[in-house]
Amino acid sequence: MSGVTVIAHISDLHVTGDPARRARIRAVIDHVNDRAAGIDVMVVTGDITDDGTPAQCAEAAEIIGAARVPTLVIPGNHDRRPEFSRALLDGAATDLPLNRSAVVGGVLYLMCDSTIPGRDDGWLSDGSLEWMESQIATVGADTPVVVCFHHPPATLQMPFMDGIRQIGEDRLAEVIGRHPNVVGSLCGHAHSGAVTAFAGLPLVVAPGVSATLKLPFEGEGIVDTTQPAGIAFHHLDGFRLITHFRVVV
């Protein structure tokens, strides 16, 4: 390896049980697997299922389990914590935020649960923010930290999604601002490969695997099913994030 970390980032798989959806997701996993020798980790930033049912969670676990790179997951607003935890995490059914952390290849990944049960918008609880602080404190200042959650904590010029984004973001920005070793934030939810700044650092939204959501000038309706599935490949060169986007036809 070159010393540069490579992160495959996918989001919004929305497993439904439909064979066509399953094939579309599986093609993305295959795309990653075919390049696994160059990839350090895969992060999946939520809406892994469409309704959060046990059957959808089981199918999602099977599809994601086929990945041949270390994989880190968080729920989105379409997932349900107890079922998600049982099928895709450690097996414990819980209504508590599903925050997890992992150090992979010398990089700390904070997988933060921004969901609010029963709602489509997002929020990181005070407890989740305290958890972030405690996790960052366990590594040295020379360890890069990548923060991941489902809901973008900033507007994206997408009126529908902006209405159900992550709120309370000033508190998150304060946490990130206290730690110079945080390199940026990765999220999903918007179903649109997008980059902006948050807390003075990159905020990268993964393209949607299941479908793309339109910008206001891209025609009637919100969902665009003609676009192919997408994936983001992030490189971490020291503390600098470099992102390339790919489609999976």
Residues within the interface to Fe ion (CB under 5 A):
12, 47, 76-77, 189
Smallest distance from Fe ion to CB 158, Å: 12
| Residue owning tokens 């729920």 | 75
Residue nearer to Fe ion on the CB measure, 12 or 59: 12
CA distances from 203 to 105, 133, 191 (A): 22, 19, 14
CB-nearer residue toward Fe ion: 86 or 151: 151
* 138 contacts: CB under 8 Å, gap ≥ 6: none
Rounded to a whole number of angstroms, the minimum distance from the CB of residue 114 to Fe ion is: 10
| Residue 166 CB, nearest approach to Fe ion (Å) | 10
CB of residue 184 to Fe ion, shortest distance in Å: 20
Q: Which is nearer to Fe ion, 68 or 121 (CB)?
A: 121
Contact partners, residue 74, CB within 8 Å, separation at least 6: 44, 45, 46, 98, 100, 111, 112, 113, 114, 148, 149, 150
Nearest residue to Fe ion by CB is 47
Give 189 or 234: the residue with its C-beta nearer to Fe ion: 189
Angle between helical axes of 19-33 and 54-64 (0-180°, round to 10): 30
